[in-house]
A and B are shown apart, each in its own frame.
Chain A
Amino acid sequence: MDIVPQLIVNSIIAGAIYTMVALGFNLIYGTARFFDLGYGALTAVGGYAVFYFYKSLGLNIFFAIVIGMLVSGLLGWLLYRFIYAPLRERKSSSMVLLVAALGAFTAIQAVIAILFTSQFQTLSTSAGNDHVYEILGGVITQVQLITLIIGIVLMLGMALSLKYTMFGKAVKAVGDDEEVSKIVGINTRVVIGKVFFIGSAIAGLAGILVGFDTGIEPTMGLSLLLKGVIASIIGGIGNIYGGVLGAFFLGFVENFGIWKISGEWKDAIAFGVLIIFLLFRPQGILKR
């Protein structure tokens, strides 16, 4: 059997998930210029919100997904409004912000574990019985295909709205220079707040899709976040297309890397690539 087509598909599946995480992270980082660790935990928040509304309360699946995105978006906004924004206005160093974000991340994870236990849960009601499609000689499930499509649609939607809408232009301006944006009359606090809401909702959606594909657990956020961050850095941090490119690049490197050597090398390969990029092309594949 030829293994390559399935490896390509596996890489694309991994890339699609990393894309989702990288998109939201990139948006927040590109605007607020700070490393939002709490973002990782919001993936779990989205996943667990759907778990609660869809599996426990039995609501309609699409309705539950929308609520899941709103919940994580809202929580992201609250984190910004009540933790990050006051710190930023006090001109706290990025170290202080990072530690605050780490605190938020840990606290959210702990609360989820208390409410839902730390056990691994599956979101889909028919594990392993997903609709399966064959493309290029490899196999992809319905959920994975949906993830891929949503990732690409989100990328295009974000790129277009940043370029053509008033809000998008304001976001870009804040990302370029927050002080000058204030001077020309942009309410930066509101703009960044909205960015946090949108970015966090995307994180929630990423967590939901991962939950349908494999499953959720309170600690799922960190590994997702790290892969999303690697993707962003490889692709060019703050650049939307770059983040997506980086995500797929990472997916391919990881999955082809363990073709001939043992699977335990996967993370070593991912972080090795990150270090190589940081050393030799810190601006990433595409510059902002």
Chain B
Amino acid sequence: MTKNGKIALGIVVLIIIVIAFVSMSGNKETGPIRIGFVGPLSGDAANIGQNAKAAVEIATAEVNAAGGINGRQLEVMYEDGKCGGTAASSAANKLINVDKVSVILGGACSGETMAFAQAAEQSRTPVLSYCSSVPTLTKAGDYIFRNYPSDSFQGKFGADHLFNTLGKKKVAVLYVKSDWGIGINDVFIQEFKKLGGTVAVDDGYDQNTHDLRTILTKVKAANVDALYFLGYSNETVVALSQAKDVGLKTTWFGGDGWDDPKIWSSAGKVAEGSMYSRVTSNPTDAFRTAMKAKTASDEIAGCSATAYDGTKIIAKVIGSVGTDKTSIKNELYKTVYTSGVSSKEISFDENGDLKTANYEVAVIRDGKAVVSK
């Protein structure tokens, strides 16, 4: 046998040993139940992803402390979706094909969930997104769920609040070119015009841009009553400070992407008095305390409560029907979850969307967001 031949044989033997080892060790019925998590653990929306991860860790620890799911421990595989399609899609592929998870909890950003919705649907893996709000996700597939409301609710709420409650008749809209930004923008424009308002500027911008001066100058020149600014943390912090630079003074109204303590604190005084809409949440004191211990912050970023509830819902569903993916999907449609920290009652309609959604308006005061009455 030649030297190369020996090496090749050695490799083949090694592979067989590894495969044998892996298939022996993975005892399906008694080992931990694996579920996947996808969220932006780095990048623009990292704060939201890290907070959501903390919330999932809390929920997992609670489930396991209470004896796990039918005696089996719950194990979560965390993957970074980087708030974008490419990373989220490879993260989900790894979870589905390598880790063989029963359910994927995520993604957070709409672009993440949309990117792997089809792959999940094809592999019949149920997906429960705790933060994606893009309207098109409604029709993404039978296995795709979310316990976070669709933007068709939010865009409509924003239009109604700006026009009727705040009395702003002429507005500008600046939106980040992500599924989330475009989704809300479309619904908002349609609803605001229907109410009889004028949209003077409607401009999109790239997610990673840090130069928004010119579009803010355009907003200033248009002399609007309010600016509906749809951005994630980074763009929003930059925009608030650059608006001050170019001398734009107007009423700011943001979307749920603003539900991030980073915006309230790092933008400093320029954010003072700005408002945004967010999903009404119902955090218990126990959840607040646990989150504070994890994140060392009093503030809970958006989607943490839904991530926590999502984990609990999955644990409950697996507890009653086991780890078969199709049974999990069928059970999710029937589930009514009541003890949530995000909303009092969570149930899904025939598209896997939330049946009801309530929004509230928060105002930024002294680096904190307080609910506006």
A contact residues vs B (CB 8 Å cutoff): 1-3, 6-7, 10, 13-14, 113, 117-120, 122, 126-130, 132, 138-141, 210, 214-215, 217, 219-220, 223, 254-255, 258-259, 262-264, 266-267
Contacts and interface: CB of A to CB of B under 8 A. Distances in A.
B177 interface: yes
A128 B203 contact: no
Nearest to A132: B245
Nearest to A265: B204
In the complex, the 3 A-B pairs of residues with the closest C-beta atoms, listed nearest first: A118-B42, A128-B241, A264-B204
Contacts of B218: 3, 258-259, 263
Interface string B45-67: 01100000000000000000000
Given A3-B218, A127-B268, A262 B202 contact: yes
B237 A219 contact: no
A219 B84 CA distance: 14
A121 to B, nearest CB: 9
A262 B211 contact: no
Contacts, number: 107
A254 to B, nearest CB: 8
Nearest to A6: B217
Given A210-B210, A254-B214, A264-B206, 9 more contacts: A6-B213, A7-B217, A10-B211, A14-B213, A113-B42, A214-B211, A219-B43, A220-B210, A263-B212
Contacts of A7: 214, 217
B267 A263 contact: no
B221 A1 contact: yes
Interface-centre pick from B42, B214, B220, B270 (highest chain A CB count, 10 A): B214
Given A258-B215, A262-B202, A263-B215, A215 B268 contact: no
Nearest to A5: B217
A142 B202 CA distance: 30
A122 B215 contact: no
Given A113-B42, A120-B234, A128 B214 contact: no
B147 interface: no
A259 B245 contact: no
B73 interface: no
Contact of B237 (A13, A132, A215): A215
